[in-house]
Amino acid sequence: MSEYLILIYGDERAYAATDDAFNLQLMEAHNRFSEQIAEQGGKMVGGNALMPTGTATTVRGDVVTDGPFVETKEALGGYYLIDANDLDQALAIAKLCPAPFGGVEVRPIMSFPEE
Amino acid sequence: MTAEADEPADVEAAVADAHRREWGFVLAATVRVAGSVDLAEECVQDAYGAALDTWRRQGVPRSPGAWLTTTARRRALDVLRREQTLRRKLPLLAEPGVTPGADEAMVDQEGEVITDERLRLVFTCCHPALAREAQVALTLRLLCGLTTAEIAAAFLVPEPTMAARVTRAKKKIAAAHIPYRVPGTTELPDRLDAVLTVLHLVFTTGHAAPAGADLVRTDLVARALDLGRVLHALMGDEPEVRGLLALMLLTDSRRDTRVDAAGRLVLLADQDRDRWDQAQVLEGLALVHDLHHSRVGRFGLQAAIAAEHAVSPSYAETRWGRVVALYDALLREWPSPVVELNRAVALAEVAGPEVALAEVDRLTADGRLAGYRYLPATRADLLRRLGRDAEAASSYDEALTLTDNEAERAFLTRRRDDARRR
C-alpha cells in the first residue's frame, strides 16, 4: 500500500454563497465518501476541512504576511490522506471525492527507505 | 545454440535485429522481475551488450529474445539481491490477474515459458496520469527501444527537453505507483483508446512529417506498424485494435505513390494505384472485413474509408456516396473538425466543389482549425476547381506559411504559381 494525499480545491466564493441545505448535503457526501474509500479497497488515514484562505498567514523567512501562499481563484479547502494499492486505485477513489466547486489533486506521499 | 561461432558482422546484424524486434518484449518481461522501469532498462541494455560478446563466441542462440530476457532478468535479480533494502519498496506493482497470451510462447534456456508482458508495459506507458507527449515518448523508448535523441528528432524537440520529459515520466511512474497491469474490463475502453491514440500519433507523425526533406518518416511508420501488430497479436478481439492496424496498413500501402521520382507530392487522385503495396492492401482489407461483425469505432471507420479507396479502380470511380456516409458515421463516433474537413473533400466529389467550399468556409469561420495546414490547402484546391484563381493563390499562400515539410511546400508553391498564371 502507498499513501496519497487528495487535495480538494474549489472556488471559495461559491462555497461562501451556499445555503444550509447544501452544506448539509455536502457534509453527508463527505461522510459517504469516507465509506466509499473502504469500498474501493483503500483506507482513510486522515483528513480535514480547512478554514478559508482569508484566515491564512504566510511566513517566508522572517517575513509574516496576511493571506495564502499563492492567491488563486480555486483554493485548497481540505484534504484526505488515504492508503491505496496503486495510482489506479487512488484515482478511482479521488473520482468519488466531493469537490462541487473545483476538483481534486492526487499527490503520492514521499517514502524514504527504512534503515 | 548453433555449434560454431558466427562471423562478427553476422552477430552484429543479429543483435541489431533482436534490438529492433525484441526490445519491447525483453524489457516488458524484465520490468516484471526488476519492479522498476529504470533498473529494467539498465539490465536490458547490459544484456544487449553481453549478447554482442557471447554470441560471437558461442553463436547466435535459436531464440535471441529468450536469451536476452533470461540474461536481463538475471542481472536484475543480482542487482536486487545486492540492494535488499530497495527490494522492499518495489516502485512498479505487477499484479497477477489478466495474463496476456501470445500466439507463440517464448521459452527460456531452462525450458520455462516467458510470458509476453508487452501489454502491461504499453498500458503503463500510456497511463492517463501521464501527458500525451510523455506517453508517446515512453512508448517509443520502452517498447521500441528508440533512444532519446531519436525520439527528439522525430518530434522536432531539443534532445534535453525530450530527455527531461522521459525522466519526469519515469519518475512519476515510480513515485505515484502507476501500476504495471492490463486494466480491467470497465476501464479498458478508455485506457485502450489512449494506447491506440498514441500509436496513431506515432504513425501520422511518420506518415506526413510536419517538417524535413522527406514527406514520410519511414522509421516511425515502421515502428507504429510493429506496435500495431504486437497489439493485434495480443488483443486481436478488440475491434479498434484491428481497425487501427487496418487503417495504418491501408494508408501506408500508398506510400510509394505519394511522391513522384523528383520527390514531389502526388495527390490521391493522381496516384498510380497499380503501385499500391498489394500485400498491405490485402492484409488491411481482411482486417476491415472482420470488423463488420463488431461495433465499429473511430479507427475502424477510418479503416473502412481507407478500404473504399483501396478497392476503387480509380479516383473517379470511388463510391463517394459511401465515403461521405462513412464520414457521417465517423463524425457521430468522433466529432472533430479534422473529420469535418475530410468529409468536405469527399462531399466535393458528390455534390460539387461549391457545396464543399461552403462547408470549408464554415469550418474556417468557426476557428477550431486555426493553424491547421490542410484547411487553407483544401480551400485553395476547391477555389482552384471553381476557377476562382486569385482567391486560390492567396489560400495556397496561407497554407505555405503553415508547413515546413519540403515536399508539401514544393507542391503548394507549384499550385499557387499555376493559379497566379491563369
Note the ipTM here: 0.84
Q: pLDDT tens digit string along B41-53?
A: 999 999 999 999 9
Chain A residue nearest residue B123, CA to CA: A88
In-domain check, residue B268:
yes
In-domain check, residue B325:
no
Say whether both B133 and B91 belong to one domain: no
Per CB-CB distance under 8 Å, the chain B contacts of A88 are 178-179, 181, 183, 187
In-domain check, residue B356:
no
Q: pLDDT tens digit string along A55-92?
A: 999 999 999 999 999 989 999 999 999 999 999 999 99
Say whether both B153 and B80 belong to one domain: no
Q: Is B176 helix (H, G, I), strand (E, B) or coil?
A: coil
Which cell goes with B153?
528528432
In a mutational test of the B interface, the residue from A1, A6, A85, A87 whose CB has the highest number of chain B CBs within 10 Å is: A87
Q: pLDDT tens digit string along B119-176?
A: 999 999 999 999 999 999 999 999 999 999 989 988 888 999 999 999 999 999 999 9
Chain A residue nearest residue B182, CA to CA: A88
Nearest to B135 by CA among B197, B177, B53, B51: B197
Last residue in a domain, options B59, B92, B114: B114
Say whether both B242 and B296 belong to one domain: yes
In-domain check, residue B370:
no
Last residue in a domain, options B248, B282, B312: B312
Nearest to B154 by CA among B223, B226, B92, B53: B223
Say whether both B135 and B106 belong to one domain: no
Contact B216/B209 with Cβ under 8 angstroms?
A: yes
In-domain check, residue B392:
no
Say whether both B204 and B240 belong to one domain: no
Alpha-carbon gap, residue B105 to B101, rounded angstroms = 8
In-domain check, residue B388:
no
pLDDT for residue B71: 96
Say whether both B182 and B107 belong to one domain: no
Structural domain count of chain B:
3
Tell me which amino acid residue B81 is: R
- SS3 sequence, chain A? CEEEEEEEEEEHHHHHCCCHHHHHHHHHHHHHHHHHHHHCCCEEEEEEECCCHHHCEEEECCEEEECCCCCCCEEEEEEEEEEECCHHHHHHHHHHCCCCCEEEEEEECCCCCCC
Nearest to B37 by CA among B160, B138, B161, B129: B138
Domain A2-108 classification at class level:
alpha beta
Say whether both B205 and B123 belong to one domain: yes
Length of chain B (residues): 422
Residues spanned by the domain of B95: 8-114
Shortest CB distance from A111 goes to which of B89, B179, B183? Answer: B89
A15 C-beta neighbours (distance < 10 Å), count: 17
Give the residue extent of every domain in chain A. 2-108
Say whether both B205 and B243 belong to one domain: no
Say whether both B155 and B241 belong to one domain: no
Last residue in a domain, options B86, B114, B142: B114
B145 burial type by CB count under 10 A (0-12 exposed, 13-18 middle, 19+ buried): buried
Q: What is the pTM of this model?
A: 0.85
Length of chain A (residues): 115
For chain A, say whether B94 makes contact (Cβ under 8 Å).
no
In-domain check, residue B318:
no
Contact B207/B191 with Cβ under 8 angstroms?
A: no
Alpha-carbon gap, residue B257 to B159, rounded angstroms = 33
B405 C-beta neighbours (distance < 10 Å), count: 20
